[in-house]
Amino acid sequence: MTIPSAEGFLPAASCLPCTAEEERAAVDALTREADANVKDGDLRYLISQSWWTNWQSYVGLLSYGENDTDIPLQPASRPGEIDNRKLVLEETSSGSEDTELQRTLREGEDYTLVPQDVWRKLYDWYKGGPEISRKVICEDPTSRRYIVDVYPLHLTLIDERDNSARTIKLSRKAKVSELYRLVCSLLSVEQSKVHIWDHYQKLKNKKLTNRNETLEEAQLLMDQEILLEVSADDIWSSDHCTRSTSNELALLPLEPTTSSFSIAGGPNFSNGYSSGIGSSLSQDNSLNPLVKDIEDGYSNFSNGTKDDIHGLTGLHNLGNTCFMNSAIQSLVHTPPLVEYFLKEYTQEINTENPLGLQGELAVAFAELLRKLWSAGRTSVPPRAFKSKLSRFAPQFSGYNQHDSQELLAFLLDGLHEDLNRVKKKPYIEAKDADDRPDEEFAEECWNYHKARNDSIIVDKFQGNTSPP
């Protein structure tokens, strides 16, 4: 196929560079080529969904309905300039990768992602902007699974020497070693003289020592603070002014004089953010309520006694996350779920379900439930669970308020697929009612559903209510 070229054409307002059919063919060919040859570091460009929908209508890509017999929409007029202004907070002159986005954008609703060559072609034809690019990241080289880092991690770096603050941006998939290199380069200090601490909620929680783990694995969250500690003649302030524990956790608040810490919105990563199951499935202590709790950066875990009252533990709000906490508390106080997740859930984890999250969501939920039902704690910061949730449901990232029912629906569905006892779902052709009694048709539909869906969630939250 020969891809139409826009070279030599005047701006869109002057003449039409191509017919609608030619534009469609060119974009289709460029998209296929980019998807077939995608690699780490490629760029994808954001385009306003409303503009993209108008363009799709213009070139005949939209229709009414959902199958091959759909009725095409009437041909639309050619759209005007690309208008991405509603996607950004403000335009920057430092490059399209640094353009600051509105924090509540959703792919498919607010924007679509296109390959670099497609953006260039559309820009040749239509002009407009602003230009917004984001990097492609290879999440799993084995399965060639890629994500687009639409919202890089924003961290507020506090320099302990003078309490100054600055914001840095890195991918969640960046290694801790990359964070050290960036920080040392910005502040002109040697890596051997630097420690970086997780400074969430202004607490010196955990020293970032494992430089091979990602920032996501280190459970760093959007807009949180990190603290830079620089040694003076091999003397570290943390050796003298923190309460050290065996896992390097300490709880001394360090208040900076200035901070760009923001409890601002929720970024929406694109393209899924689903990864394979980690080592947590093999950890026998995931069900032991007496395991020392270091996951959330706190060491105030109590062994408790038989007289302790369980189930009275609260959840910290991580910004405006009461929508999440209320849904979680509802589930973790549902007696059948409590019994199930404290005893037998590991036997039913389904890591092979393509519709599931490889068991990771179930493990994260079970760990949080275990903490909430352990004695001796007054509250738990659900950072690990929030981090895992944000990976699989990017719309809930950040600290914005969201719909509690929407989160509850996602959580129930995710837990169901992670714990689905059906390892290989059979293909079932749906049949029409054909004037059969409602009771008979309802029972048939329920049996079809059960043939593909069988889990604790189905057992306790779903059912067939026959009509009167």
d(CA 173, CA 218): 10
Q: Can you give the pLDDT at residue 75?
A: 62
Q: What is the pLDDT of residues 452-462, one digit of tens each?
A: 999 999 999 99
Three-class secondary structure of residue 296 per DSSP: coil
Instruction: Specify the pairing of strand 225-230 against strand 194-198.
Output: antiparallel
363 CB-near residues (< 8 Å, 6+ apart): 277, 280, 281, 286, 349
- Determine the pLDDT at residue 298: 34
List pLDDT tens digits, range 423-459: 888 888 878 888 888 888 888 888 888 999 999 999 9
Q: Is the N-terminal amide bond of 256 cis, ω within 30° of 0?
A: no
Query: What integer pLDDT is reported at residue 377 of this predicted model?
Result: 63
Q: Round to whole Å and give the CA distance between 266 and 445.
A: 38
Q: What is the mean pLDDT of residues 324-342?
A: 92
DSSP string covering 15-49, please?
--SS-HHHHHHHHHHHHHHHHHT--TT-EEEEEEH
Query: Helix H segments across 86-228?
Result: 116-126, 176-187
Determine the topology of domain 153-241 in CATH: Ubiquitin-like (UB roll) (3.10.20)
pLDDT at site 145: 80
Measured distance CA(195)–CA(238) in Å, rounded: 10
Give pLDDT tens digits for 15-51: 456 899 999 999 999 999 999 999 989 999 999 999 9
Q: Spell out the CATH class of 279-418.
A: alpha beta
Q: What are the start-end ranges of the E strands in 181-267?
A: 194-198, 206-207, 225-230
Mean pLDDT of the chain: 76
The whole-angstrom separation of Cα 364 and Cα 409 is 17
**Burial readout 48-64 (b: 16 or more C-beta within 10 A, e: otherwise):** bbebbebbbbbbebeee
Cα–Cα dist 458/256, whole Å: 49
- Residues of the chain with pLDDT > 70: what percent? 73
Contact, 29 vs 89, CB < 8 A? no
What's the pLDDT at 219? 80
d(CA 263, CA 284): 36
How many whole angstroms separate alpha carbon 272 and alpha carbon 278? 17
Q: Considering the entire predicted model, what is its pTM?
A: 0.55
Q: In the chain, what are the domain boundaries?
A: 20-148, 153-241, 279-418
Pick the CATH number of 20-148 from 3.10.20.30, 3.40.50.1100, 3.30.2230.10, 3.40.50.1580: 3.30.2230.10
What is the DSSP code string of 368-414?
HHHHHTSTT-SEE--HHHHHHHHHH-GGG-SS----HHHHHHHHHHH
pLDDT digits 0-9 by tens, 242-278 = 443 333 333 333 333 222 222 222 333 333 332 222 2
Sequence-ordered alpha helix ranges (H) in 213-262: 238-241
